Amino acid sequence: MCLCLDWNPSATSISTGLSDGSVLLISIDKTKTSILQEWKAHDFEVWATSFDTDQPHLVYIGSDDCKFKG
């Protein structure tokens, strides 16, 4: 289940944090969506995800496992 998401301001993609601790990077265009990357980032739910405004290829994520990753 998706718990959070953030839109990449410099591209057509979003990052989503999932209830199983995974993060998805999803490409969005006018006709379709597709998963660019998926990885297990945390042991518990991911409650926060945010693209870095100066380095849009970098995503910060936070979880119930008390870890913050970027």
Query: b/e per residue, 27-65, with b = 16+ CB within 10 A?
Result: eeeeeeeeeeeeeebbeebbeebbbeeeeeeebebbbee
Could you say which DSSP state residue 69 is in? E
Kindly report the backbone phi and psi dihedral angles of residue 51, in degrees, each rounded to the nearest multiple of 5, phi listed first: -75, 145
Q: How high is the pLDDT of residue 10? A: 78
What are the tens digits of pLDDT across the range 8-40?
Answer: 987 889 999 999 999 999 999 888 999 999 999
Using pLDDT thresholds of 50, 70 and 90, give the confidence band for residue 56. Answer: confident
CA 22, CA 2: separation in Å to the nearest integer? 10
Q: How high is the pLDDT of residue 12? A: 87
Greatest Cα pair distance in the chain: 38
Using pLDDT thresholds of 50, 70 and 90, give the confidence band for residue 70. Answer: confident
